[in-house]
């Protein structure tokens, strides 16, 4: 089994969750990405969020949410993605940047439009009554 290690920022507003769609993709993904060599979770997540959404995460507000794992979207069977999720406040205005084509606020009814690991996170958030 091959494991892809990723980080995600979980931002919920009015029962809806922030999600993004990259250029050339049809599915939505939580903002975040892979760490570069030597980066801490916060350094990697902060860099990715700034690149994708043009906002800056506030380090002392960042809180660990959970680790989720599933089959990696658009990869051969057996390639898993492990998503380490954080919440946290930010400064700036959220706007699509870099490879991001669209920024959306999704509800649980949009679950089928996201990747397999994001679906697991959607289920967990719904169970905790954090999204509608």
Largest CA distance in the chain: 39
Mean pLDDT of the region 3-27: 96
Residue 89 in contact with residue 63, Cβ under 8 Å?
Answer: no
Mean pLDDT of the region 103-126: 97
Residue 127's pLDDT band, with cuts at 50, 70 and 90, is: very high
Closest CA to 88 of 58, 66, 49: 58
Question: What count of other Cβ atoms lies within 10 Å of the Cβ of residue 6?
Answer: 22
Question: Mean pLDDT over all residues of the chain?
Answer: 96
Q: What is the pLDDT of residue 1?
A: 77
Residue 70 in contact with residue 116, Cβ under 8 Å?
Answer: yes
Residue 34 CA to residue 32 CA, distance in Å, equals 7
Mean pLDDT of the region 104-109: 98
pLDDT per position as a tens digit, 49-102 = 999 999 999 999 999 999 999 999 888 888 999 999 999 999 999 999 999 999
Residue 50 CA to residue 52 CA, distance in Å, equals 6
Q: What is the pLDDT of residue 54?
A: 97
Q: Name the DSSP letter for residue 36.
A: P
Q: pTM, whole model, 2 decimals? A: 0.94
- Tell whether the model's pLDDT for residue 114 goes beyond 90: yes
CB-based burial label for 3 (10 Å; 0-12, 13-18, 19+): exposed
């Amino acid at each position: 089994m091959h494991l892809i290690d990723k980080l995600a920022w979980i931002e919920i507003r009015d029962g809806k969750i922030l999600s993004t769609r990259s250029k050339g993709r049809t599915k939505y993904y939580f903002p975040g990405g892979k760490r570069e060599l030597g980066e801490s979770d916060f350094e990697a997540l902060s860099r990715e969020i700034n690149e994708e959404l043009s906002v800056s995460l506030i380090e002392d507000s960042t809180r660990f949410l959970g680790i989720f794992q599933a089959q990696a979207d658009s990869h051969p069977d057996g390639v898993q993605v492990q998503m380490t999720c954080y919440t946290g406040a930010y400064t700036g205005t959220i706007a699509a940047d870099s490879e991001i084509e669209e920024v959306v606020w999704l509800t649980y009814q949009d679950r089928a439009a996201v990747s397999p690991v994001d679906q697991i996170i959607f289920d967990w958030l719904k169970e905790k009554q954090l999204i509608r």
